[in-house]
A and B are shown apart, each in its own frame.
Chain A
Amino acid sequence: MTPDSWQLATILVGGVATIAIYSFLIKENSLYRFFEHLFIGIAAGYGPVYAIRTNLWPRILEPMLGLDIMHFPDGTVSHSYNPLLMLYLVPMLFGMLYYFIYSRRFSWLAKLVIGFSLGASAGLTFKGFFAEIIPQIVTSFRPLVVFEGENLLGMESFSNTVFIVTLLSVMYYFFFSFRVSGKVDKGISFTGRWLMMTCFGAYFGSTVMARMALLVERLEFLIIDWWGALGGIINSTVA
Chain B
Amino acid sequence: MAFSFAALDRRIVYGLVLLCLALPIIFEYSLPPSRMKAADKLYQLVEAIPPGPGKIALLAFDFGPSTRAENEVQAEVLMEHLMRRRVPVAVFSLYPQAVDFLDAIPKRLAKKLTSEMPGERWEYGVDWVNLGYRAGTALFIQSIPKAENLAEVFGKDAEGTRLSDLPAFKGIKDFKQIVLVGEVTGLAGMFNLYVQFFQSAEYIPPLVHGCTSITIPEAYNYLDSGQLKGLLEGLAGAAWYSELLEVANPARTLDSAPMRNTATGIGHMIIIALVLLGNLSAIAVRFRSKKA
Tell me the A residues contacting B by CB distance below 8 Å: 25-26, 43, 46-47, 50-51, 54-56, 58-59, 124, 127-129, 131-132, 135-136, 138-139, 199, 202-203, 206-210, 212-220, 223-224
Chain A residues within 8 Å of B259, by CB: 220
Which residues in B have their C-beta under 8 angstroms from that of A55? 133-135
Residues of chain B in range 237-278 having any CB-CB distance to chain A below 8 Å: 256, 259-260, 263-264, 267-268, 271
Residue positions of B touching A, CB distance < 8 A: 11, 14, 17-18, 21-22, 25-26, 66-70, 96-97, 99, 132-135, 138-139, 142, 155-156, 158, 160, 186, 192-193, 195-197, 199, 212-217, 221-222, 224-227, 234-235, 256, 259-260, 263-264, 267-268, 271
**Among A135, A208, A212: residue with most chain B CB under 10 A:** A212
* Chain B residues with CB below 8 A from A212, complex form: 21, 264, 267-268, 271
Q: Which residue of B lies closest to A27 (CB)?
A: B11
Question: Which chain B residues lie closer than 8 Å to A135 at the CB level?
Answer: 225-227
- Say whether A54 contacts B97, CB under 8 Å: no
Contact between chains at A46 and B132 (CB < 8 Å): no
Selected from A59, A131, A217, the residue in CB contact (under 8 A) with B69 is A217
CA distance A80 to B25 in the complex (A): 58
- With A132-B192, A213-B235 as contacts: A202 and B217 at CB distance below 8 Å: yes
- Neighbour of A54 across the interface among B133, B222, B234, CB < 8 A: B133
When the two chains form their complex, are residues A216 and B264 in contact, meaning their CB atoms are under 8 A apart?
yes
B213 touches A210 (CB 8 A): yes
Q: Which residue of B lies closest to A124 (CB)?
A: B138
Knowing A210-B214, A220-B259, A220-B260 touch, does A50 contact B133 (C-beta < 8 A)?
Answer: yes
Question: 13 additional contacts, CB 8 Å, given A55-B135, A214-B66, A215-B17?
Answer: A26-B11, A46-B97, A47-B97, A51-B96, A54-B99, A54-B158, A132-B227, A139-B225, A209-B234, A213-B70, A216-B25, A219-B18, A219-B22
User: Is B133 touching A206 in the complex (CB atoms < 8 A)?
Assistant: no
Q: With the chains together, A212 CA to B216 CA distance in Å?
A: 15
CB distance from B116 to the nearest CB of A (A): 21
Q: Are A223 and B214 in contact (CB under 8 A)?
A: no
State in angstroms the CA–CA spacing of A218 and B263 once bound together: 12
Across the interface, do B224 and A58 meet the contact criterion of CB distance under 8 Å? no
Docked pose: A182 CA to B14 CA in angstroms: 49
CA distance A217 to B66 in the complex (A): 11
A223 touches B26 (CB 8 A): yes
Query: Which residues of chain B are within 8 angstroms of A25 by Cβ–Cβ distance?
Result: 11, 14
Inside 8 A of A50's CB, which chain B residues have their CB? 96, 99, 133
Asked if A132 and B196 make an inter-chain contact with CB atoms under 8 angstroms apart, the answer reads yes
Contact (Cβ within 8 A) A128 B263: no
A-B contact pairs, 16 of them (CB 8 A): A54-B132, A124-B139, A127-B197, A128-B192, A129-B196, A132-B227, A136-B227, A139-B226, A206-B214, A206-B215, A209-B214, A209-B268, A212-B268, A213-B234, A217-B68, A219-B25
Taken together as a complex, chains A and B put the C-alpha atoms of A213 and B11 apart, in Å, by 19
A26, A131, A136, A209: which contacts B264 (Cβ < 8 A)?
A209
Are B25 and A206 touching (Cβ within 8 A)? Answer: no
CB-based nearest A residue for B14:
A25
Given A220-B260, A223-B26, are A215 and B267 neighbors across the interface (CB < 8 Å)?
yes
Residues of the B chain whose Cβ atoms lie less than 8 Å from the Cβ of A199? 217
A217 to B214, CA, bound (A): 16
Residue from A26, A127, A215, A224 within 8 A of B21 (CB atoms): A215
- Check if B195 sits within 8 Å of A213, measured CB to CB: no
The residue of chain B having its C-beta at the shortest distance from the C-beta of A129 within the complex is B196
Question: Are A58 and B217 interface neighbours, CB within 8 A?
Answer: no
The contact of A219 among B21, B96, B227, by CB within 8 Å, is: B21
| Known A139-B225, A220-B25; contact A131-B97, beta-carbon cutoff 8 A | no
What's the least CB distance linking A65 to chain B, in Å?
Answer: 16
Q: With A209-B264, A217-B68 in contact, do A128 and B197 touch (Cβ < 8 Å)?
A: yes
A64 to chain B minimum Cβ distance, whole angstroms, is 14
Expressed in whole angstroms, the minimum distance between the Cβ of B261 and any Cβ of chain A is: 9
Indicate if the CB atoms of A206 and B132 lie closer than 8 Å: no
Complex Cα distance A46/B132, Å? 15
The smallest beta-carbon distance between A76 and chain B, in angstroms, is 17
Q: Are A216 and B133 neighbours in the complex by a CB distance under 8 Å?
A: no
For the complex formed, measure the closest distance between the CB of A192 and the CB atoms of chain B, giving whole angstroms.
Answer: 17
A106 CA / B133 CA spacing, docked (Å):
35
Whether A136 lies near B221 (C-beta < 8 A) is yes
Closest 10 CB pairs of A and B: A217-B69, A128-B196, A210-B213, A209-B213, A50-B96, A139-B225, A55-B135, A136-B225, A212-B267, A210-B214
